[in-house]
Amino acid sequence: MPSSKWRSLAVVCAVASAAASVLIATPAHADGTLRGHAEERGKFIGAAIATSPLANETAYRNIASTEFNQITAENAMKWESTEPNDNQYTFTGADQIVNFATQNNQQVHGHTLVWHSQTPGWVQGLSATNMRAAMNEHIATVVGRYANNATVVSWDVVNEAFNEDGTFRQSFWFNTLGQSYIADAFRAARAADPNARLCINDYNVEGINAKSTAMFNLVQSLRAQNVPVDCVGFQGHLAIQFGFPNDIQQNMQRFANLGVQVRVTELDVRMQTPRTAAKDTTQAQYYTNVINACNAVTACAGVTIWGFTDKYSWVPDTFSGEGFALIYDNNYAIKPAYTAVHNALDGGGGGDTTPPSTPGTPTASNVTSSGATLSWGASTDTGGSGLAGYNVYREQGATDPLLGSPTTNSFTLTGLTANTQYQVYVRARDGAGNLSGNSQLVTFTTTGGGGTDTTPPSTPGTPTASNVTASGATLTWTASTDTGGSGLAGYNVYREQGATDPQLGSPTTNSITLTGLTANTQYQVYVRARDGAGNLSGNSALVTFTTTGGGTGGACTATGTVQTQWQTGYVIQPARVTAGSSAINGWTVTFTLPAGHTITGSWNTVLTVSGQTVTARNVGFNGNLAAGAFGEFGFQVSRPNGNTALPSGYTCTSP
Ligand code: XIL
């Protein structure tokens, strides 16, 4: 769990109220600030911040620091801002935001790494190999810059990947790399900062619809493949003329049940001009509804508003004839929407401190080797904020893990261990976050294990490969059935390689997206089904496919020569790239460093290092090679004293 950067939201009342006294605008702070109330709930309330007013306006700075405990850069961390030209980074705006947040004890959510918009043209025109390398390098550099900075706790790794109908957006990312760019981006971000929380973010996914369901399915499948998706962001660009997505809480909860954190990342509620009191009231209700939904879902970390003053909002520039979407007006005076957010964070103004009644004793049904369904007598809530749902815990002594937070008085447990006793209890939760007493325990034992089920599932159908790219492919096969009692648990996917066949993944459904494959390489893959008792089916027939890229096989070759060495290091000079029988425009060389060896410098190339795998790309003058011609680069390595192993596996692809 990437939690070590998750600074505790210690209440900073002293700081907040001292700053509040210089606030120009508003009377409402007598009741406490938004951040003060959010912190009492263990949530964040945030705002998108623009660098220009931050530098130039005291009122803007005062509200930004006083009212919010979380900040997202509105534009300053986007690719066009941080890497406008290849490998030329500028962090002026990003650092300005991060430093402001650090001074004001706020957390920063990094926005955004891989998006089709506000990404420079030079990225959009790259070949598949170079685009993937550029993406990995950008993520490594930008995330890496703040990896040891406790203020930056999370990132939007992939933004707006879907169309409204739930298909993948045909962005230059998808069109060039296929859907594998998503998994690759998350893996690169995890490698750059193992402690940051990594989010996928989109708009029009607040309610349950085709787009949010596609996102749900993607997150579930990525996590089944151990792709590090920790969090889902619902942008929340709402408009009062379109109605409120009433199933927002239910939608948040179904994502939460996948084990991810959820958050509202870009909330604003626009209206058609002119602004009226009636529209303000409707807008305020929308803000209330969003905050209430987040309050009611334990896994919802908080809500970020996309700005705070109507003076600086993207809405009038983007949606013709619409505006007034934020919680302060043009003159930094609060609007009804501010009071709505304030009161919802405060638990309805009066403050509900009465917990719901204790739930009835759960009963367990449909107990299998890996799951069970629990139901219990519902609770009631009289404190005013209303019953929000239940928390389900496993009794385990000192700390009882939370198994889920359903909104109704029933819950299906999955992923349990076969032949194991479970004791589970339930607490009710209200809209103000009050928890009831513990219900009585229910005790049940999962079936299977211990040799009861020795019947393997049926053999899966022959996989078919689709979306084959230079580094990935999607495999799908006909599902197996299991009659032995423990039930079908999933599949193991293997690469056929002779003596030992490496396992490529273990999905729970009859499909997997392979990533990180080598370009221009033949793969033979088969699948075995597995049941809840661990029995494996026979091997499916093989599927054979060849990844794209890498020119025509003989596009280029690469070698490395030791120029000089000493006890603790050496220089490879030249590393030479030679074109094959045709001219090439650009090259990418990969090679493997021996364990313990690290790159300390390089020249005439752009290097990306991932573990022991090094990727070297050409620079301007040595990329265009005539047939049979060579270009050179070099690098220096430090090694454990006297360890004379050398880099190996030089592989060259083009473009
Ligand atoms: C918007 C900014 O607010 C504008 O200033 C900029 O001109 C365009 O982008 N979804 C996102 C945000 O993820 O990054 C967008 O921000 C709004 C929509």
Place of tokens 């700390």: 399
Determine the atom of ligand 1 nearest the C-alpha atom of 314.
3
**3-state percent helix, strand, coil for the chain, nearest multiple of 5:** 25, 30, 45
Tell how far the Cα of 75 is from the centroid of ligand 1, in angstroms. Answer: 7
Query: Is 266 part of the annotated catalytic residue set?
Result: yes
Q: Given the residues 266, 322, 395, 632, select the one marked as catalytic.
A: 266
Residue whose CA lies nearest to ligand 1 atom number 4: 314
pLDDT of residue 347: 66
Q: Which DSSP category does 467 fall into?
A: S
pLDDT at 533: 80
Catalytic residue among 40, 83, 137, 160: 160
**CA 222 to centroid of ligand 1, rounded, Å:** 26
- Is the Cβ–Cβ distance between 520 and 551 less than 8 Å? yes
Ligand 1 centre to CA of 74 (Å) is: 6
d(CA 405, CA 428): 9
Atom of ligand 1 nearest to the CA of 201: 13
Separation of CA 73 and ligand 1 centre (Å) = 10
Q: Which residues partner with 475 through β-bridges?
A: 465, 512
For residue 168, what pLDDT is reported?
Answer: 94
283 CA to middle of ligand 1, Å?
20
For residue 324, which of 272, 284, 277, 287 has the smallest C-alpha distance? Answer: 272
111 Cα nearest atom in ligand 1: 14
Q: Is 160 a catalytic residue?
A: yes
Divide the 655 residues of the chain into consecutive groups of 10 and give the mean pLDDT of each group: 43 35 35 87 96 95 96 98 96 97 96 97 94 96 96 97 94 93 96 96 96 95 93 98 93 94 98 95 95 94 98 96 96 94 75 86 92 95 82 84 83 86 92 85 83 86 90 92 86 87 87 82 91 90 81 72 86 90 88 92 90 91 87 92 87 86
For 167, the enclosing helix (H) or strand (E) is: none
Please give the number of the atom of ligand 1 that sits closest to the Cα of 317: 7
Q: Which residue has its alpha carbon closest to ligand 1 atom 5?
A: 314
CA 1 – CA 532 distance, rounded (Å): 26
Q: Whose CA is closest to atom 15 on ligand 1?
A: 74
Q: How far apart are CA 237 and CA 526, in angstroms?
A: 44
**Does residue 236 come out as left (phi exceeding 0), alpha (psi in the -120 to 50 range) or beta?**
left
Q: What pLDDT is recorded for position 10?
A: 38
Residue 54 Cα to ligand 1 midpoint, Å, equals: 17
- Return d(Cα 418, Cα 450) in angstroms, integer: 9
Ligand 1-lining residues (CB < 6 angstroms)? 74-75, 159, 235, 266, 314
Phi, psi of 49, rounded to the nearest 5 degrees: -120, 135
Predicted pLDDT at 389: 86
Probe target for ligand 1 pocket from 109, 314, 315, with the most ligand atoms within 8 Å of CB: 314
**What pLDDT score does 534 carry?**
83
Instruction: Report CA(77)–ligand 1 centroid distance (Å).
Output: 11
Tell me how far apart the alpha carbons of residues 59 and 64 are, in angstroms, rounded to a whole number. 8
Among 318, 319, 322, 326, name the best residue to mutate to test ligand 1's pocket (greatest count of ligand atoms within 8 A of Cβ).
318
Sign of the torsion angle spanned by Cα atoms 584, 591, 79, 266: positive
Residue 313 Cα: closest atom of ligand 1: 3
